[in-house]
Copies of this chain bind each other. A is one copy, B any other.
Amino acid sequence: MTEPYELTATEIVADIEAGTLTCEAVSAACAERIEALEGSVQAWAHFDRDAALALARAADKEPSKGLLRGVPFGAKDIVDTADMPTAHGSPIYVGNRPAADAPCIAACRNAGAILLGKTVTAEFAHVQPGPTRNPFNPDHTPGGSSSGSAAAVGAGMVPVAFGTQTTGSTIRPAAFCGAVGYKPSYGDFNLTGVRDNSPSLDTLGLITRSVADLALVRSAVMVLPYEALDEVAARALRVGVCRTPWWDQAEQYTQELIADVAGRLSRAGATVTDFDMPEGAAGLVQAMRDVSGFEFARVMLHERLHHADQLSQKLLNGRVNDGVLCSYEGYRAALATLESYRGRFAAAMEGIDLLLTPSATGEAPEGIDSTGNSVFNLPWTATYAPAVTLPAGTGPTGLPLGVQLVGCRNDDQRFLSAAQAVERLLDKPG
């Protein structure tokens, strides 16, 4: 039997609706799971069992049936919450208590979801990791910067958590932790109350256990009427296999995984073709570095001027330094490079439902000092395109692998429908 902590959000809502589960029971099951595993996983920056269960009990007494009724969730600790601290993964903000819930939190709570706590983030959503460990092997990174959110969903602590992505901070950790991850089209999810990293690139993301849950939570976050995903047959899919210019950085088993999934899609009747990224892909790396550096160095001004001794060397020597070195002309040129690439990418996606590409170079690397390589995430952040990672088996050391799907910008509902067709194919024996 499936334990309550293993359910998807969609299943939780249905069970509560059917009267076979209560909000309290599912939150209590998640809380128990957190307490059992938190010592080794360390996914949470803030978790108050009693406060969370009080919210769940109150929800059981509410007559209203929200879209996310009773769904426990977590939020990366750069997302403002009125009743919990928001520390941005930095000693500078220990105990910081924002005046309001970010709209994404307010929206989910209003839809009936229960915020269990705040999840560990890399320092200011950059690269200096927090204490979180991979739930499948504590000697390995969970990825980052949405480390805690990915580990919490992967460990069965919550079915839904918010991450953010400026380069690869949602997709990569979700893949490393065996979860479904989603970076929406840039601009779709409101970022008010979410700490800026690089505003031209920042995207609020979701980590869940199913594609159906992405559509459900997306609707709540965007305050739009919920529409279930269309049922798309695998044979109707037009898939581009995108090896990217960084293919040689993918482990051989990652390359084989992509080939295997492409083969499954082909055997299921999908139209599978090779997709070459439009000209200029290699230039995206420096352009992303210039844009995120220029912006992050300015976002961090207060902390750099007044709390420099509490900032990590990785932060100061990383994106901040990139930004200090980048001129205004360099920044504008980099923005122009990205914008022009977006146009070429959109044109190249004509007639394609989704791309199939690695979620990461391989399994989560050993050690928790680094959050891993984001080269397979960077192009899709640059293009503003929606991306999903789906769990797809395990690697040589038994850690989860993901495959990444990329869709057409601003067509997320259709993209998620297509992604769900791939998800179903992956659930079947190959």
Residues of A within 8 A of B (CB): 82, 93, 96, 99-103, 105-107, 110, 187, 190-193, 196, 199-200, 222-224, 295, 297-303, 305-306, 327-328, 332, 335, 410
Contacts and interface: CB of A to CB of B under 8 A. Distances in A.
A420 B297 CA distance: 30
A328 B410 CA distance: 10
Contacts of A196: 192
Given A301-B107, A302-B106, A295 B100 contact: no
A59 to B, nearest CB: 15
Contacts of A200: 187
Given A103-B299, A106-B301, A192-B298, 4 more contacts: A101-B302, A106-B305, A107-B298, A193-B302
Given A199-B192, A299-B190, A305 B110 contact: yes
A99 B96 contact: yes
A301 B110 contact: yes
For A200, A223, A300, A335, the residue with the greatest tally of chain B CB atoms inside 10 Å of its CB is: A223
Contacts of A297: 223
B96 A332 contact: no
Contacts of A193: 302
B303 A100 contact: yes
Identical chains bound together, number: 2
5 contacts: A82-B302, A100-B302, A101-B302, A106-B302, A192-B196
A223 B107 contact: no
A92 B224 CA distance: 26
Nearest to A191: B199
Given A187-B200, A192-B199, A199-B190, A301 B332 contact: no
A258 B239 CA distance: 57
Contacts of A298: 103, 107, 190, 192, 222-223
A194 to B, nearest CB: 10
Contacts of A300: 103
A291 to B, nearest CB: 10
A190 B295 contact: yes
A115 to B, nearest CB: 13
Contact of A302 (B103, B301, B305): B103
Nearest to A200: B187
A410 B332 contact: yes
B100 A192 contact: no
A224 B107 contact: no
